Structure 1
Amino acid sequence: MRVVMLGPPGSGKSTHARLLAEHLTVIHLSVGAALRDEVAKQSPLGERIEATVAAGELVDTADVLAILETRLVGATGSGGWVLDGAPRTLTQAEALDDWLDDLEAPVECVIALDVPDSEVRSRLLQRGRADDKPDVIAHRIQVWQHDGGAVLTWYETKRRLVRVDGVGDVADVARRVIAAVERF
């Protein structure tokens, strides 16, 4: 199974992608973790990513795909994956779909975690990462509403999108996510 987990920042994508991957016994691929690893390496790519993320902007499509390429090829060969943190723009969705189609491993299901903006703000402020400042959070929510909406529409027209209520206890949301994938 090849699943993409989408939602606004702080919606629980990584948590629920990890839990779903465990349930499906496939690999969890977190773009956020991959980007943070690249930043920690202090490579030129990592420095560019760090500046972009600190400003609350989205990482360039080519950089995201470069980071994902090896990971997705390996995970596809091992039986499947749950990807969180990408695609974040329509351009990324189109490029990712084209690339995965070339691998003959298209996205099969896209889970969209629906979480209200007020809940997202609260979660991000509690999380306390360096880039989780009120002005950056507000900007990231605005970017998600604009760009994320286009990505959701893209997958909805391809009949791959399933919306899941992302508010509540982690175990309850996880059950909803697993049930959505199993119904798909």
Structure 2
Amino acid sequence: MRIVLVGPPGAGKGTQATRLAEKLRVPHISTGDLFRANISQQTELGKLAKSYMDAGNLVPDEVTIAMAKDRMEQPDAENGFLLDGFPRNVSQAEALDELLTTENMKLDAVLDLEAPEEEVVKRIAGRRICRNDGSHVFHETYKKPAEAGVCDVCGGELYQRDDDSEETVRKRLEVYHTQTEPIIDYYKAQGLVVTISAMGPVDEVTERALGALKREDDGK
């Protein structure tokens, strides 16, 4: 299957993308991973992207699209892929359509993870990270440490990242609503959107997504 995964920050896209790609046996193609891989390998696209980033500018759509094209043409993506973080806007969605048409491919579904805005803010703004080891993550509501402000694992100080502050989260949501959310209507016009709730335990959301994708596939 060829799937695009969309949803607001805090909806659990990264977690679900990894799990769904494994279940569906297709590569998980993340925009963040594409940038990191191209920059670390010093590809021409990576060098170009880095030049924009070093200058404090956004990487142009055409560079992102070229990276995605290169990744989708790899042998492991022959039978499908799951795109996470791309397309990020309607112009990228249009470019993806052109690319797929050229390659004689098509999307099977656009999976839209829905979560109430206040829940998204609560999920992200409540996160606390260990200063000693950033992989130790707690939450003020869902995963409280035994002692407030102290990591259960190593005793390090727990802190809130700047980009997890409520103000920053709300700004990220504004960007999502303005730039990315319009692609949902774009794909609805093509009959590709499958919407599910991103609320509840991670396993339940995964099973909900797999069930919705199967129904979509069976209906075609």
Q: TM-score, normalised by structure 1?
A: 0.85
Please say if 1:45 is aligned against 2:77: no
- In structure 2, the partner of 1:137 is 169
Q: Which moved more, 1:26-35 or 1:107-116?
A: 26-35
- In structure 1, the partner of 2:184 is 152
Please give the secondary structure, in 1, of the residue aligned with 2:182: helix
Q: CA deviation at 1:72?
A: 0.9
Q: CA deviation at 1:149?
A: 2.5
Segments of structure 2 that go 5 or more residues without pairing to the other structure are: 130-160
Q: Give the Cα–Cα distance (whole angstroms) in 2 for the partners of residues 77 and 5 of structure 1.
A: 16
- In structure 1, the partner of 2:145 is none
Distance 1:49 1:108, change over 3 A: farther
Residue pair 2:27, 2:77 contacting (<8 A) in 1 also: no
Distance 1:97 1:127, change over 3 A: farther
Please say if 1:32 is aligned against 2:32: yes
Q: CA deviation at 1:63?
A: 2.3
Q: Give the Cα–Cα distance (whole angstroms) in 2 for the partners of residues 35 and 132 of structure 1.
A: 22
Number of residue pairs matched by the alignment = 179
Segments of structure 1 that go 5 or more residues without pairing to the other structure are: 53-57
**Seq. identity, %:** 32
- Root-mean-square deviation (CA, aligned residues, Å) is 2.4
Q: TM-score, normalised by structure 2?
A: 0.72
- In structure 1, the partner of 2:7 is 7
Distance 1:134 1:39, change over 3 A: farther
Residue pair 1:115, 1:165 contacting (<8 A) in 2 also: yes
- In structure 1, the partner of 2:140 is none
- In structure 1, the partner of 2:123 is 123
Please give the secondary structure, in 1, of the residue aligned with 2:3: strand
More helix by share: 1
User: Using CA pairs below 8 Å that are at least 6 residues apart, which structure has the higher relative contact order?
Assistant: 1
Q: CA deviation at 1:28?
A: 1.1
